[in-house]
Structure 1
Amino acid sequence: MLMSGLVPALVGAMLAIGSAQAQPSSFETFTVPTGSVPHDVAPAPDGTVWYTAQAKGAVGRLDPRGGKTNWVPLGEGSAPHGVIIGPDRAAWVTDGGQNALVRFDPRTERFEVLTLSRPHANVRQMMGRPGEVWLSESGTDHLLRYRPRTADARSN
């Protein structure tokens, strides 16, 4: 019993001492629209930052120079998770709600939904490199490579 009360007291004391010695925060905070529930972020070469707005079924774009944000709704049932800026400078979004990989081209302001072939893929994370985008289907134990130029998708 004594230990159960002692440990939280010691941890609290250490946190208080650490807080008193901590340097001022260097984080800048940017407010996004209420209810966005931002999940992943991806800085773009043009200085903007893309983020997934999970609760809104959208991908958002923040311009940190002025704090302006805008959204692109991804479609009925969308539940976006991950976002990267691909080698083509488009925003690529994993969307578990649509069981899809979604590509949004900021130049044309059009998006393309690439539905995955396996149901309940639970697609979440992805990475890009020149000529390809990689993602994981945690619901099916697969990795997927998508080559935008050839429209060739292969699972391994």
Structure 2
Amino acid sequence: MSRKPAVDATDEYLGRTDSMEFGVVPNFSAELIDAPVTMEGVDLEAFMNEPVMVTVLSGSKDHEAVYVPVSVNGITQMFKRDTPMVVKRKYVERLARAKETGYDQTVDDRLGERMNTLHNRHSLRYPFQVNRDDNPRGAAWLRSILAGR
């Protein structure tokens, strides 16, 4: 029987996706996210070194590497795609922060100077899911990281 992942990062909110127009200064107003998990010092260090089971998923890109390297403070953790692995939470944070932003373009000559609008969309560079996280704060922490906090 297959267990449902604790957090499937591919289904989570990845931050604001505003439109941009050429010739118009964008509004960089603050975005309110649910209260992030806040810790300091020893508590944060212990939290980031807790074991978490994660699976880096195969993407839809041709010729993608079988292994995904993730480094924290000069130490590299290799993730084999589609294989559940128990790693320290600090490596999961790096996976969650590895995002790509693509742009779709709308061109409408009838709008004059405001004819060219770009709509951004975010995606994970390395899609993953958390299969097991025994810390009750883990899911909220991951969602806040994915949302750009």
Give yes or no for TM over 0.5: no
- Higher relative CO (Cα under 8 Å, sequence separation at least 6) belongs to 2
Q: TM-score range by the shorter chain?
A: under 0.3
TM score, norm. by length of structure 1: 0.24
Q: Which has the larger radius of gyration?
A: 1
TM score, norm. by length of structure 2: 0.25
